[in-house]
Amino acid sequence: MPDVLQYFGRDMRWEPQNWADVPGLLQRVARQGESFRAEIEPGDGTRYDLWITVTAPSESRARFLIVSRLRSGGAGPTCAYSSDDRAAAKAAIEVLAEGNGWSAMFFTWWFDGLLLRLANVSAKEANI
For the chain, what are the domain ranges?
Answer: 13-119
pLDDT (0 to 100) of residue 22: 80
Instruction: Work out the pLDDT band at 102, boundaries 50, 70, 90.
Output: very high
CB neighbour list of residue 30: distance below 8 Å, 6 or more residues apart: 57, 118, 121, 122, 125
Mean pLDDT of 74-94: 85
Greatest mean pLDDT among 27-31, 96-100, 119-123 lies in 96-100
Are 29 and 36 spatial neighbours (Cβ–Cβ below 8 Å)?
yes
Q: Which helix (H) or strand (E) holds 95?
A: helix 86-97
The pTM of this model reads 0.84
Is a pLDDT exceeding 90 seen at residue 63? no
Is a pLDDT exceeding 70 seen at residue 20? yes
